[in-house]
Amino acid sequence: MSAETSSKSGKTVSGAGEGHSRAAVVRGISEELAETLDRIAGELGGSPDLKMRKLLIGTAPPVQAAVVYISGLSAEDSINDFVIGSLMKVNQAREQAPDPGGESLMEYVMERALETGDARIKEDWNDIILAVLSGETAVFLNGYASAIICDTRDEEGRAIDEPTTQLVLRGPKDSFVETIGTNITLIRRRIKTPKLWFEHLTVGEASKTDVAMMFIKGTVDKKLVDEVRSRIRKIKIDAVLESGYIEELIQDKTFTPFPTIYNTERPDVVAANLLEGRVALIVDGTPFVLVLPAVFPQFFQSPADYSERVDIAILMRLIRYGSFIILLFGPSMYIALTTFHYEMIPTVLLVSLLAQRENVPFPALIEALLMEGVFEILREAGIRMPRAVGQTVSVVGGLILGQAAVEAGFVTPAMVIVVSLTGIASFAIPAYNMSIAGRIVRFGYMILAGMFGFYGITLGMIVTIAHMNSLRSFGVPYLSPFVPLSFREQQDTLLRLPLWFIRPGTVSPTRSGENQTDQGKLIDSGHEDNLSPAVQAKGKTGLLDSTEE
């Protein structure tokens, strides 16, 4: 999948950035300061936010220097104090220095003058431009074919706020923000071990988005890390504006309604997953962090499960699975029962349904599709509606459409109940992307039920389960630990057993002594699915599923 996309986007990159690529031919810097500055100004199109401060430093003769940065991206206070300020003092400092002869002025400035925390000498033109565009400051000295890069990035962003998509009653109330640095900090605060490693990767020809791959050394499967790294490196795309881009480009299978990579905006969830041996991908510019590999039961776990008492947690967990079943089969069951299997409805209820249907012109299937369609429209409109008008939508949707449709004889009240029940059930699933999956699959079931009744629903179930069995998330079977069934790993799937039952373990695509034959057929890692051989366990018998702490 990534191969196709990359070839397409690769073309766009070379087409759009014609000038850029010609300039990139000359990767070195001129020793002439004026020429260098002209080149920078030219390349950025004389952008007004590009600041080039020229100054003179050194004793005799004074050396021309320039400080280049982009206002807004950089902390101008620290540039004034620690870059320009310290450069101005070089004059005195050099006089006082006893033996400046041995080192070059560049090294002298770098080592003795600049007061910023991070400074390094760069000679590559592209590196320097990228650094400036990231908010760092470049210091050029006349006569030197290099620049000093000082880290003056101003990580200004939204303050850490309550999570908006994964709410819990009890549990931490912080969530990720758009700045990658802050997000890494949020995780580091929770896991204070030197084994928490992260790798820095850059994705996107134009956006050069920072991606941090986080894992816990020793807990994570090394092959998994290698696999993730190689998949990310293979991405060829113009820009990554959200972690969803990365998710789509590295997931095992594109054409499935079911998500195979988990995303969250909660640092506690990421921390728990890291401790289980998963890999987290933090993408700059979005509060949604990817967690992989992800298996089906994981999408029904909520962070609240571990802060509430065991009995309540088990009940809630079961209710969530139940809601998913209602979401999938609610309308289709209703259609099948009323049009094919009326004998299964209790007589008294049947009489009441009969009376309701007496004047409804549409078949139950059309009626259901109509109502579900309306519900989807309402939901979509509700997201986009400005908050002030949001109320109107719910009133119009709930009262006018629901009640009036019944009174006008478009639909039966029973159908309204079924549709609203499935609508509410879809919100009981903690992971939004799993709830969308259910919403899509539901329509397929409705059509099957309208054609074949329960027989059709059964056929659909067989196909769905077969399809889910074919899915892998970075080599881990999607339905594990249900399929392949492992009783020992059920502590945190349908039920949430007490914490001391949940053994720590590692998520790994293969377990020792199991499916040895699978490892024979090795497939190159860029290929769509089936990574199990490439992402092999080190023979550790660990938990395949998600056991959160």
Partner 1 sequence: MRLQRRIAAIAVCCLLLLAGCWDSVELNRRAIVAGMAIDKGPSPEREYMLSFQIIVADEITGKNSRGNSPVVLYTGTGRSMYEALSNASKQIARFLSLGHIRVVIISEEFAREGIKGIMDTLERESEARLTSLMFVARGQMAKDCMTLMTALGKIPANDLVGKVENTSSTFGYNFRMEVDDIIRGIQVPGGGALMNGVWVSGDKETGKSNENMHDITPAAILRISGIAAFKGDKLVGWLDNGEARGVALLQHRLTQTPVVVHTDGNLIVFNIFDNSVHLKARAADPEHPVIMIRITQQASIKELNGNLDLMNPDMLKRAEAELEETTKKDVEKAIQIARSMNSDYLGFGEAVERSNPRGWKKIEDHWDDVFARCEVKVQVKAVTQSTEMRSRSMKMPE
Residues 361, 27: Cα–Cα separation, whole Å: 73
Q: Is 196 helix (H, G, I), strand (E, B) or coil?
A: strand
The residues in 289-308 that bind partner 1, with binding defined as CB under 8 A, are none
Q: What is the nearest approach in angstroms of partner 1 to the Cβ of residue 455?
A: 10
Q: What is the nearest approach in angstroms of partner 1 to the Cβ of residue 401?
A: 20
Give 270 or 415: the residue with its C-beta nearer to partner 1.
415
Residues 108, 111: Cα–Cα separation, whole Å: 5
b/e map 279-299, b = 16+ CB within 10 Å: bbbbbbbbbbbbbbbbbbbbb
Could you tell me which stretch among 76-84, 288-296, 346-354, 541-549 binds partner 1 (CB under 8 A)? 346-354
Give 183 or 412: the residue with its C-beta nearer to partner 1.
412
Give 453 or 542: the residue with its C-beta nearer to partner 1.
453
The H-assigned helical ranges of 340-453 are: 347-357, 364-384, 387-395, 405-407, 413-427, 432-452
Half-sphere exposure of 242 (CA within 13 A, CB side): 6
Give 359 or 517: the residue with its C-beta nearer to partner 1.
359
Q: What is the nearest approach in angstroms of partner 1 to the Cβ of residue 257?
A: 17
Q: What's the chain's Rg over C-alpha atoms? A: 30
Q: What is the nearest approach in angstroms of partner 1 to the Cβ of residue 343?
A: 3
The tokens of 492 are what?
Answer: 């945190």
Q: Is 161 helix (H, G, I), strand (E, B) or coil?
A: coil
- Is residue 162 packed enough to be buried (19+ CB in 10 Å), middle (13-18) or exposed (0-12)? exposed
Q: What is the nearest approach in angstroms of partner 1 to the Cβ of residue 24?
A: 40
With contacts defined by CB under 8 A, how many residues of the chain interact with partner 1?
24
Residue 342, interface with partner 1 (CB under 8 A)? yes
Give 241 or 463: the residue with its C-beta nearer to partner 1.
463
Q: What is the nearest approach in angstroms of partner 1 to the Cβ of residue 339?
A: 4
Cα–Cα separations (whole angstroms), residue 305 to 492, 502, 542: 10, 13, 22
Give 360 or 495: the residue with its C-beta nearer to partner 1.
360
Per CB under 8 A, the list member of 300, 340, 375, 445 interacting with partner 1 is 340
Q: What is the nearest approach in angstroms of partner 1 to the Cβ of residue 514?
A: 33
Q: What is the nearest approach in angstroms of partner 1 to the Cβ of residue 236?
A: 25
DSSP string, 504-527: -----SS-TTS-GGGGGS---TTS
The residues in 349-378 that bind partner 1, with binding defined as CB under 8 A, are 350-360, 363-364
Whether 537 and 509 have beta carbons less than 8 Å apart is answered as: yes
Give 18 or 358: the residue with its C-beta nearer to partner 1.
358
Q: What is the nearest approach in angstroms of partner 1 to the Cβ of residue 471?
A: 20
Could you tell me which stretch among 172-180, 181-189, 332-340, 526-534 binds partner 1 (CB under 8 A)? 332-340
**Per-residue x/- track, 226-245, partner 1 (CB under 8 A):** --------------------
Per CB under 8 A, the list member of 339, 470, 486, 490 interacting with partner 1 is 339
Give 3 or 325: the residue with its C-beta nearer to partner 1.
3
Strand partners, 153: 74
Residues 267, 183: Cα–Cα separation, whole Å: 8
Residue 95, interface with partner 1 (CB under 8 A)? no
Give 321 or 362: the residue with its C-beta nearer to partner 1.
362
Cis geometry, peptide bond prior to residue 303 (ω within 30 degrees of 0): no
Could you tell me which stretch among 122-130, 273-281, 301-309, 339-347 binds partner 1 (CB under 8 A)? 339-347
With CA atoms as reference, report the closest residue to 202 among 227, 236, 226.
236
DSSP 449: H
With CA atoms as reference, report the closest residue to 215 among 260, 170, 270.
270
Give 132 or 365: the residue with its C-beta nearer to partner 1.
365
| Long-range CB contacts (within 8 A, 24+) of 298-302 | 298/262, 298/431, 298/545, 298/546, 299/259, 299/262, 299/429, 299/430, 299/431, 299/433, 299/434, 300/324, 300/429, 300/430, 300/431, 300/434, 301/430, 301/492, 301/496, 301/546, 301/548, 302/166, 302/168, 302/430
Residues 282, 263: Cα–Cα separation, whole Å: 10
Q: What is the nearest approach in angstroms of partner 1 to the Cβ of residue 443?
A: 15
Q: What is the nearest approach in angstroms of partner 1 to the Cβ of residue 259?
A: 24
Please enumerate in sequence order all residues whose Cβ is within 8 A of that of 247, keeping only pairs 6 or more positions apart, or say none. Answer: 261, 263, 290
b/e map 335-365, b = 16+ CB within 10 Å: bbbbebeeeeeeeeeeeebeebbeebebebb
Give 354 or 424: the residue with its C-beta nearer to partner 1.
354
Give 402 or 477: the residue with its C-beta nearer to partner 1.
402
**Per-residue x/- track, 517-546, partner 1 (CB under 8 A):** ------------------------------
Give 154 or 528: the residue with its C-beta nearer to partner 1.
528
Residue 482, interface with partner 1 (CB under 8 A)? no
Per CB under 8 A, the list member of 301, 338, 491, 506 interacting with partner 1 is 338
**Per-residue x/- track, 431-460, partner 1 (CB under 8 A):** -------------------xxxx--x----
Residue 517 Rama label (left phi>0; alpha psi -120 to 50; beta): alpha
Give me the residues that bind partner 1 (CB under 8 A), please: 338-340, 342-343, 347, 350-360, 363-364, 450-453, 456
